[in-house]
Structures are given as structure tokens and as C-alpha cells.
Amino acid sequence: MPAPDSIGIVHTQYFTFAADRPFILESGAPLSPVTLAYETYGRLNADRSNAVLVVHALSGGAHAAGYRTADDPKPGWWDDAIGPGKAFDTDRFFVICSNVLGSCYGSSGPSSIDPATGQPYGLRFPVVTIGDMVRAQVALIDHLGIEKLLCVAGGSVGGMQVLEWAARHGERVRAAIPLATTARSNAMQIALSEVGRQAIYADPNWQNGDYYANGRRPDAGLAVARMIAHITYLSEQAMHRKFGRRLQSQERFGYQFQTEFQVESYLRHQGNAFIQRFDANSYLYITKAMDYFDLTMPAGSLAAALAGAAAVKFLVVSFTSDWLYPSHHSKELVSALTAVGADVSYLDIESSAGHDAFLVEVDTMTRLLGSFMDRLASEEGIRS
């Protein structure tokens, strides 16, 4: 039975648009129709001023909080932060989370059926950008009758979406919480994405993306991509503390090529679990969107790009041991926001948890997000 501070059992909903007139992507390519899977928690108030959009990272989905069934063992991905009395307090706020365009959890993506052929798109699905993901979210917000979001919050690729919302749709957002992210993917981040993609391409079962029909999926390649990514989500110190040099199930070295260190076993488990739940093509599309993300373009500078976000209130958070999106990315963002006169709170949180800190430093994040949301609610006159 869900705990009293759980939102309880939730159901995913679907919003389909652009059925008649295609949604034109940043690339110029048309997409029609477009479906977004989404969930909502709490109730939209009478003046529609209490809506919080929560945006997910690479492998997340619309299921951010609560349970799917009464005996579901695992809640949504940000259940620590969303629920009655939590930071995103569902007694006060109407929380929305939608699966990003290009993903594989109910929103249109490469595994969706292409209406032109009746077959899954595969690589015929057009390449989407963070801007496209966010414009689809704007359509969802319009559909829900929300003129202005109280807040948009998310970490990692979710943080990129938060920044995109603030920079290009600033008039639709009161506050923004970009966590452990960057306004511009740099060479190292692109390199790490690309090596994951190369692992997928290298798997003969990938079949240039057309693996849906014959049941031979690029599991081995996707697992390697996930293992690489998992290392980047942790820190040297966190891995050392968690695994050290401990062996998994034997007393001494086996002198064979088997999984023997605990950290190897952990990585293998992460890889195997991921292939059960994620689509390799979606991995390609979302990492590509990350790589393309550069808020400074076409404006020429971050400050110019953020001119439209001057009225948005920001809480920017980075973590000292995050080497995937190191703190200096957030500091650069904060400088630009300060330059345009935005109201910015910035914290570089001392943590050894690496990039994952935005999800695993629960106590710190609960306090921080909670007090920011409290202040926001009080300023905007939002009560439970």
C-alpha cells in the first residue's frame, strides 16, 4: 500500500495533436500526428496558476510519481519530490510530466508506427531537438488550458528542456529549476553520447534501426551504451565507496574473463535491466537532441539567448562531483542570467554522488526545492 505521502495510483494519459496540420520540427521535417504520453498529479486550481511541469532525463518517462498498480513495487522516477507535503506538494500544485518526443514510453518516437507505412518508423522518424520536445510540451500545456506554468523543473537533459522553456517561452513560465545541466553540450558530452551511439551502430542486430519486425534487437550494443553512461552518472569517489575492489562471489581472482569485481556485476546488471525497458533507436534520438543543444545559437551568446527569460525566477543547482555536467556550466549560465537581470538563486552542492546527485541527494534536494516552491507559492498566493 502506498505511503501516506504518495500520490497513490496514477494513470498515464495521451494527448495527440498535429493530426491535420503537421508539427514542423526545427529541422524543417513534418511530423504528423504527434502523441505525448503524460501524467498529472494534484489539481489545477481555479485560476490555473499552480501548474508545475516536471521534465525527465534521458531514460525517463511520464511516470514521475505514484504507482501504476496497488502492488507496483516501484514508484515514479521523481516520487521523492512529488506528492502530498513533498517539495512539489500535490496538495498545492498541479504537477505535469510528459514523455519527451523521440522516447519510447508512449510519446511519438522511432518505435511508433509511421502512418505512411503502417510499420515502425525506425530511422525514418525525423531527428528531433530539445526545442522540438519543448514545443510539443507547449502544445500539451495549451491543451490543458494553462497559460503560464508556475514552474518548470528537471535535471540533466530535463534541465536542458527547462532552459529551453525559459529562453524561448519565457512568457509562459514563472520560475525555472535547471539541475545538473548545461546550456550547451560541449565536446566531451558529445563524445560520450557518440560512443554510446557507436556501440549501438556496432551491433549487427541494430540493422540500421529496422529491428522491430524480426525480433533481433541490438541488446548487446544498447547495454554497452548504458554501461558507459552509467559510469558518467557516478563519481570516482561514489564508485569507490559503493564497490571498492570487492569481488562479487569469489574469494580470489579467477584469472578468467568473467564478471568478478562487484562493479563489473553492477554495470552488467545496469546494462541488462536497461535493454528490458528502453529502445535503442530512442537512445540515438535523445542523445542526438542533447548533442545539438546549444542555447547560445542563433543569438550568439548565452545572455542574448536568455533575454526573454529576464522575468523568470531561477533556482540553478550543480553538484561538485558531477563531471558529466561540471559546475562551471551552471556558473556560466548563472552569469548570463545575472547579466539579463533575472532573479537567480544558485547552489553548487557539495556531494560525492556525481551527476546522479540531483536524484539521489534526497534530503538536500527536498529542502532546497521545497523552500523554493514554498516561496514561489507564497509570492503567487497559492494555497492548498
* Binding status of residue 48 toward its own copies by CB under 8 A: no
* Binding status of residue 326 toward its own copies by CB under 8 A: yes
Q: Give the C-alpha separation, 36 to 371, whole Å.
A: 31
Q: Is 304 left (phi over 0), alpha (psi -120 to 50) or beta?
A: alpha
Select from 140, 132, 170, 147 the least CA-distant residue to 54. Answer: 140
In angstroms, the first-to-last Cα distance of the chain is: 24
Q: Given the complex with its own copies, which of 25 and 344 has the nearer CB atom?
A: 25
Among 64, 96, 192, 365, binds its own copies (CB under 8 A): 192
Among 89, 203, 279, 361, binds its own copies (CB under 8 A): 203
Asked whether 102 and 286 are in contact (CB, 8 A), the reply is yes
Q: Given the complex with its own copies, which of 69 and 208 has the nearer CB atom?
A: 208
Select from 150, 105, 113, 154 the least CA-distant residue to 134. Answer: 154
Q: Given the complex with its own copies, which of 191 and 273 has the nearer CB atom?
A: 191
- Note if 169 is an active site residue: no
Residue 373 burial (10 A CB sphere; 0-12, 13-18, 19+): buried
Among 239, 304, 310, 347, binds its own copies (CB under 8 A): 239
Using the contact rule CB under 8 A, the part of the chain among 50-58, 72-80, 258-266, 272-280 near its own copies is 258-266
- Note if 156 is an active site residue: yes
Residue 338's contacts (CB-CB under 8 Å, 6 or more residues apart) are 344
For residue 68 the three cell numbers come to 501504476
- Note if 89 is an active site residue: no
Catalytic hit among 219, 322, 329, 351: 322
Per CB under 8 A, residues contacting its own copies are 27, 29, 123, 126-127, 184-188, 190-192, 194-195, 197-199, 201-204, 220-221, 223-224, 227-228, 231, 234-236, 239-240, 242-245, 253, 255-257, 259, 261-264, 267-268, 271, 284, 288, 291-292, 294, 323, 326
Residues marked active site are found at 156, 322, 355
